Amino acid sequence: MNEMNELELKYLKSLAHQYPNIAAASTEIINLQAILNLPKGTEHFLTDIHGEYEQFNHVLKNGSGAVRRKIDEVFGNTLSNKDKKSLATLIYYPKEKLDLVLQEEDNIEDWYKITLHRLVQVTKTVASKYTRSKVRKALPKDFAYIIEELITEKAEVSDKEGYYNEIIHTIIRIGRAPDFIIALSNLIQRLVIDHLHIVGDIYDRGPGPHVIMDTLMKYHSVDIQWGNHDIVWMGAACGHLACIATVLRIAARYGSLDTLEDGYGINLIPLATFALETYKDVNCDTFAIKYNTDYDTKDLSLDMKIHKAIAMIQFKLEGQIIKKHPEFEMDDRLLLDKIDYEKKTVRIGDKEYAMSDVEFPTVDPSDPYNLTPEEEQVMARLRQAFLKCEKLQRHIRFLYSNGGLYKIHNSNLLYHGCVPVDEEGNFKSVNVDGKKYKGKALYDILDSFARKGYYAKNAPSEMYRAQDLIWYIWAGPNSPVFGKDKMATFERYFLSDKETHKETKNSYYSLLDNEEVLNKILVEFGLDTEKSHIINGHVPVELKKGESPIKCGGKLLIIDGGFSKAYQSKTGIAGYTLVANSHGMRLVAHEPFESTEAAILHESDIFSDTTVVENSYDRILVADTDIGRELRESIVQLEHLLKAYQEGTIAEK
């Protein structure tokens, strides 16, 4: 201890404010040691949610089937299947289910008594793997003391049943049963998932990304790995015109402009007015809307005009960026200047292709990438609307503060897309802002530019350059989260030749079963090749075609199974959840979700099929996790403090 340097002494003195004497430091060491020996909390990994908020909320509520498994564990054969289903639905949607029960039940007091007993049993089981203090922090304020009494074994009470019955009887007598049921149900949902990882693509296609973001912002513990669709929204929130145009075009294409108007309160009237006037007598058939059942078809004609108007603006703005940044190597995307209006063709490479539509009233063939004054005005107003939208800015700030392009957590490497490699599996060098980067360094530099694009307001020229890079992360051929040679948007709208629609994936995707390549990636990110996994989203796994999400014997897991309705016909399922708990890893495949209404009225759950990826013979403890490492470090520091007290280097208070 004599060797203690000034810095250490300073640190221990600041620690002494928190633990002012031997007793306090000793108690904390004992507490932390106890936590290390608990089973690790359950982590859930979800990806590619694409605005499907009803299904997303249900999967969170049912813990990807964990709530139902706990009910089976607690009640075994003592409850009928029907009763188990009712109890599960009550836990998922307590308020709505209670409304129905109150209308239907003759003897509501009896029902309360039975239900409360059952809920207490389930709560006890889900709380058993946590410390009391962690459970205490999760308890709803109004009922914290009572819940703690009900779920804690009391050795000193001889008539335990009488004691618990009396508490429950009082809750019912004073009219607090409904609130208490809601509180217990929410607590069960909260304890079933300890931590949530979203491996990208919250936005685009589905109708409710804003609802999902609201849910995530209230969630107790979550991190996000940005997907390319999140990135383009982040760029739009920065005020980047090409990103704004892209977000609007995708919303128009999928019939979800309501997300922007009603969800975020963004005024689209200037765009609608411009589209109505400019495309009044223009054929917009190529710009059909891929709408779902709740789309109001009376908007169809206007939405097709908006769709075409914003697509043409997007192509122009993208052209401007590509010309400004030759290092992006995206000249093959400059197609507006390759159109022959007489022949109705476009030249791509050295071939000419017939176009289904060349009626572009805003394109000047001699200067095709220039916005018309009217288009400029529309975009200026939209830019202000995005920048001033408080709700959008709040959501995007949350994405920045709780997210990144990748994450390393408990020996798992999480990213949305890929690590760009060549055919041999060597990391690809990419030019970013004049320097070459590859592997982890490529992820790090792009992550830092994504942040500068939003936060570097004091250095405008740096901020605008960074915003162009945000757009590149969305659609660039060597972007890790996009991972294809091109985004063939232009071809899909205007060319019938399907060959031109092909987007070639980075070689990474053909090497997913190559252990040497995967090990190289794990080592690059500083992970142990024996114990680690890569968890990946972005590319839907086509289960229907016999594809498996489990690659290379479980070393890599692609967990995009088609949450988005747009993909479900392709994948044959409706999303995966990867569950990592103290017993190992399970992959849960979900059936399509009917609706929240059906889940409440008909008690229809999502049927989920489980595949065990990895079983651990010894239970995985908190000691084996990242948090465990931090706790061990804290114990070491506290032991130093204890020694300093014992030797009198620091005085006890």
Within-domain flag for 163: yes
Parallel/antiparallel/unpaired status of strands 345-348 and 339-340: antiparallel
> In terms of domains, do 336 and 470 share one?
yes
Within-domain flag for 94: yes
Matching residue, tokens 């989920």: 608
Backbone CA torsion sign across 308, 240, 208, 611: positive
Within-domain flag for 434: yes
> In terms of domains, do 125 and 245 share one?
no
> In terms of domains, do 232 and 338 share one?
yes
Give the model confidence (pLDDT) of 587-596 as tens digits: 877 776 667 7
Which of the 8 DSSP states describes residue 337?
Answer: G
Q: Report the percent of the chain where pLDDT is more than 70.
A: 92
43 or 567, which is more confident? Answer: 43
> In terms of domains, do 188 and 72 share one?
yes
| pLDDT confidence of residue 606 | 58
> In terms of domains, do 314 and 460 share one?
yes
Question: DSSP letter string over 403-441?
Answer: EESEEEETTEEEESS---B-TTSPBPPEEETTEEE-HHH
For 537-547, what is the mean pLDDT? 69
Cβ–Cβ < 8 Å for 532, 556 = no
Q: Encode burial over 278-296: b for 16+ CB neighbours within 10 A, e otherwise.
A: bbeebebebbebebeeebe
Domain count, the chain: 3
| pLDDT confidence of residue 143 | 86
| pLDDT confidence of residue 613 | 65
Q: Report the percent of the chain where pLDDT is more than 90.
A: 63
For 53-64, what is the mean pLDDT? 86
> In terms of domains, do 301 and 352 share one?
yes
Confidence of residue 534 (pLDDT cuts 50, 70, 90): very high
Within-domain flag for 445: yes
For 214-236, what is the mean pLDDT? 96
| pLDDT confidence of residue 631 | 93
Within-domain flag for 575: no
Closest CA to 338 of 324, 320, 358: 358
Parallel/antiparallel/unpaired status of strands 222-225 and 403-404: parallel
> In terms of domains, do 296 and 180 share one?
no
Give the model confidence (pLDDT) of 478-504 as tens digits: 999 999 999 999 999 999 999 999 999
> In terms of domains, do 179 and 282 share one?
no
pLDDT higher than threshold 50 for residue 1: no
Cα gap 611→587, rounded to integer Å: 5
Closest CA to 38 of 619, 506, 649: 619
pLDDT higher than threshold 60 for residue 568: no
Cα gap 112→531, rounded to integer Å: 47
| pLDDT confidence of residue 609 | 64
Within-domain flag for 522: no
Full domain range(s) for residue 363: 224-386+426-475
Pull the structure tokens for residue 528.
Answer: 């142990």
> In terms of domains, do 88 and 235 share one?
no
For 86-101, what is the mean pLDDT? 92
Collapsed DSSP state (helix, strand, coil) of residue 136: helix
Q: Which of 475, 508, 543 is the last residue of a domain?
A: 475
> In terms of domains, do 86 and 230 share one?
no
| pLDDT confidence of residue 501 | 93
> In terms of domains, do 253 and 294 share one?
yes
| pLDDT confidence of residue 164 | 80
For 117-144, what is the mean pLDDT? 88
| pLDDT confidence of residue 559 | 81
Tell me the Cα Rg of the chain.
28
Backbone angles phi, psi at 281, to 5 degrees: -110, 25
Confidence of residue 634 (pLDDT cuts 50, 70, 90): very high
For 164-187, what is the mean pLDDT? 89
> In terms of domains, do 246 and 315 share one?
yes
For 535-549, what is the mean pLDDT? 73
| pLDDT confidence of residue 625 | 86
Cα gap 80→151, rounded to integer Å: 24
Within-domain flag for 581: no
Within-domain flag for 540: no
| pLDDT confidence of residue 8 | 87
231 or 571, which is more confident? Answer: 231
Q: What is the pTM of this model?
A: 0.89
